[in-house]
Each structure stands twice: as C-alpha cells, then as structure tokens.
Amino acid sequence: MRIGYQGEPGAFSEAAARRVDPDAQLVPFRSFEEVFDAVNGGAASYGVLPIENSIGGSIHRNYDLLLSHELPIVGEVELPVVHHLLALPGVTLDGLKRVYSHPQGLAQCERFLGTLKGVEVIATYDTAGSAKMVADSGARDAAAIASARAGEVFGLVPLASSVQDYDDNITRFIVIGRRPLKNTVADKTTIVFTVANEPGALFKALSVFALRGVDLTKLESRPIPGRPWEYLFYADLAAARDNLTCARALGHLAEFAPTLRTLGSYASWKSREERSPDPFEVVS
C-alpha cells in the first residue's frame, strides 16, 4: 500500500499517514493538490491531509479540494502536535534572525514567537520543509518550527521544545481513497450542502438533524466561487450514512437543499489509546 502526504519526511502529515498503516510505503508530495492527483491517478492508494487543528482552526484549502475532486473521505486520524524550534548544532537563540515554518505551525506557536525580539517570521509550504531549508542553507542565524523527527532527519537540534501555545494541540487529518480502509466500521459522515438565500434557511437545514437526534460535530462555511456572499456548508455528523435515522435526515435535507453531496462515511478517530504522542516526538 502506498499512502501520499504533503510535505517532506518528518512532516506531521507523515506521522499521521504512519498511523493509518505503519507498514505502508509513505510517499511525500509538495502540495495538497499533488496528493489528490496521486490518489486520483493511482500513484497512491490513499492520501492523508490535514483538515483541522485545535488551535489554528480549519485548513480551508483541503475543504475546497474535497469539493473539486470525486475522492471520498474513508477515514480520519488525530495526531497530537508537538513543535520544536530547530537549528543547526551550535546556533543560539540570541543569534537568530529568521524563523521558518508552515502558516499553521506559526499560528500554533504565536505566543512563543512573540518572545523572540528582532526575529523575522517567514511562512513556508511545510514544517519539515522549513527544517530542510535551514539545514540545506547552512544558515547559522535561522531556525525552523517543526517536529522532533524533522530535526532527526535533517540534522538539526532543538533550541526550544514544546513551543506550541497549548499542550492540547491536536490536528485532525482525513484519509481519501477509492476503497474503504480495512477493518473499520463507519460511524461518522461528512456532507456539503447549500441553502436558499432566504430567512431561516440554515435553521431549517440543521433542524432535520436536531429533530432526529443526529449529533452535528462540526459546521464550516466556505464561499461559493463566482457567487459573492453565497456559501457552501460543510458538516460532520456523528452517524454512518446508512444509519436509518441519519439516512432519513439526509433524505429530508435533500428535499429542499439546492445541492447536497456526501463527501464520505467513515470510522471516526475515537480510541484514547491511539491518541498517544507520536513515538518520534520527544517532549521536554
């Protein structure tokens, strides 16, 4: 099995992919779009993509890509995220002039970064890619915010550890693919829908779930391209699509929603045991 992820080796997406199947061949790609293309074209069996962080919020680009592709969500992974400030051996905090990381990594470490005076904060395409950039450049005035594994991969050492703003920093990843994951039972469904531009339309849409006791665990709105001030609504439901109550709620919504699409019905990430820190992480 080949699982695609965005970023360099040592990226948090790589750790999430390893949780899907520790024995799979993990294949890095530079962009989220390339992960979708790899799964769509058969170069990877599955793709693992971040969708939401408990501090930084939603990764909107991946919501948009879900809509523009016909690849269903077949699973999800939750990963505790521990950030480290990584630099070449011998570099000191006092000598830093630049810190690189992915925008989500920077957002998750905002308070720590605010303590670094006179340091330029630069957004890049990937946390582990930032570590690679610092290592390849040989810069002794630069550091990256990335995982402990990224430091091991690229020969960097931590100037500071666990620099995220909150200890409970968790990223939720979705798994996309054409086939269901083995040995899983669906208990969660993700949908996207639109409503008429009239008073009470969203209330009416959500009531089909409330009246039947279907738990709505997330609701996200995204603008519809080419239609200013009109929105798509993404929702996560705590039930399988073929659950009778959920199926009836979706059938009711379909009666009046201009558009409704199921993006996937899959097993949620529930086990507390499986939420233990990644073995490559060292928290100090």
> Which residues are registered as beta bridge partners of 261?
192
Q: Say how far residue 195 (Cα) sits from the centre of its chain.
A: 26
Among 124, 127, 171, 189, the active-site one is: 171
Active site residue 209: no
Active site residue 190: no
Closest alpha carbon to 280 in 10, 2, 86: 10
Q: Cα–Cα distance between 246 and 194 in angstroms, integer?
A: 18
> Which residues are registered as beta bridge partners of 233?
193, 221
Q: Cα–Cα distance between 208 and 247 in angstroms, integer?
A: 11
Closest alpha carbon to 61 in 131, 125, 129, 132: 125
Alpha-carbon torsion angle 198, 202, 204, 205, nearest 10? 130
Q: Cα–Cα distance between 254 and 157 in angstroms, integer?
A: 54
Q: Cα–Cα distance between 230 and 137 in angstroms, integer?
A: 45
Among 12, 29, 32, 173, the active-site one is: 173
Q: Which residues contact 41 (CB under 8 A, 6 or more apart)?
A: none
Residues acting as catalytic residues: 171, 173
